[in-house]
Amino acid sequence: MKRSIDRILTTHAGSLPRPEDLMELYREDAPDSKLLPRLQSAIADVARRQADTGIDIVNDGEFGKAMRRAVDFGAWWSYVYDRLAGFEVRTETAEKGRAAWTIGSKERKEFADFYAEDGGMGSARTGSSSSRMYGLTCTGLVKYNGQKAIRRDIDLLSSALRGVRTEEAFITAVSPATLQILPNEHYKNQQDYTWALAEAIGEEYKAIVDAGFILQIDDPALVDIWDWWFSLKDDMAGYRKWAEFQVEAVNHALEGIPDDRVRFHVCWGSWHGPHSGDVPLKEIADLLLKVKAQAYSLEAGNVRHELDWKVWQETKLPDGKLLIPGVVSHATNLIEPSELVADRIIRFANVVGRENVVAGTDCGLGGRVHPQIAWAKLTALEEGAKLATKELWS
């Protein structure tokens, strides 16, 4: 994985705004004969636009993961259930929505009125990517059957990158910890269930790396679950025990994959809520560093996590590792001034070393902010990186 040797490199967390006509094709479940030509041209366009904006490490915008609405928080992980055997829909579970997962949340109790209005993804809106999978329950052996789908993702991005000048390219995939949120009626315990999910999704991880791309694992559950399951009881010991096992599971899924082909993305959920219940980074940083990845992508560009750079004053980043701090945020429509972006980059560089910092985004921008704002934020990211480079290499 490339380092910031003579300048600050830039990237983002994955999701980028989809064209409306592509989302319409997903909404109507268009056949491949109709979907694939438009998907191919859309990925080619978004790869080129990232490069033209100055982003160094690019992806396919996650366009191959079906997003059906302009505001949709779920495509980044709901995509995988079309690639896994062993799940069935339970109507009674679907009716509960996200609320069934967050019964231990202190934040959702304190801000019950806010979440009841669904202003912060208390439950998924009808027609969103998430709403399609809230009813899924594991009822049989989990197996990966997405070989054709991941091959399509790889081939489309490979084609899109021809003639496009970039430093590297990455493809995102979901974590075992996130997958095991869905109910289990088959495995005798949660540990066996998570292990089976890790073995299944590991096939997707290997396919991405074998194709020559950087693998980004998206794992917001590693930190979100503190609030969703443990915060009401203030059970930090129980949470850390759970998180330690999740790190073991993702490392099992990564078995045989070199660390320097993996970046690990953690965020505290992309919904626009108060996030007062976010577990502090200092409580989980030591476990995060046990994940077999070279780079760690973290929120650092919003008011709940902008001070997280201080954690790295006390927690040493191991030799050879990289940080990808978010220096522009998905959580606000305000466009960050390039000087502020530069200041955020420089803070991290002064703590962990300039060569160990790649500037990124807090989370995916697609489905979180308006497309015009998303691309303006990426421009601010690039401009801020140039200002930081001037100061850090002066």
Tell me the average confidence (pLDDT) per consecutive run of 10 residues in the chain, 394 residues long.
97 96 93 96 98 98 82 72 90 68 86 78 50 80 96 98 97 95 94 97 98 97 94 96 98 98 94 92 97 98 96 97 98 97 98 98 94 98 98 95
- Name the residue among 316, 331, 221, 340 with its Cα closest to residue 273: 331
User: What's this model's pTM, rounded to 2 decimal places?
Assistant: 0.94
Residue 264, CA atoms < 13 Å, CB-side half-sphere:
27
Q: What share of the chain is helix, strand, coil (3-state, %, to 5)?
A: 50, 15, 40
Instruction: State the pLDDT at residue 122.
Output: 42
Question: What local confidence, expressed as pLDDT, does residue 77 receive?
Answer: 75
Strand partners, 216: 172, 263
Residues near 68 by beta carbon (within 8 Å), at least 6 away in sequence? 23, 26, 27, 127, 128, 129
Predicted local distance difference test score (pLDDT) of residue 97? 65
How many Å apart are CA 72 and CA 374, to the nearest integer?
14
Separation CA 124–CA 117 (nearest Å): 11
In 33-107 the beta strands, taken as DSSP E runs, fall at 57-58, 84-89
Whole-number Å distance between alpha carbons of 175 and 317: 22
So what's the pLDDT on residue 123?
Answer: 44
80: how many CB neighbours lie within 10 A of its CB?
22
Write the CA distances from 344 to 328, 355, 362, 369, 387, integer angstroms. 9, 15, 12, 21, 11
Identify the CA nearest to 7 among candidates 56, 50, 71, 78.
56
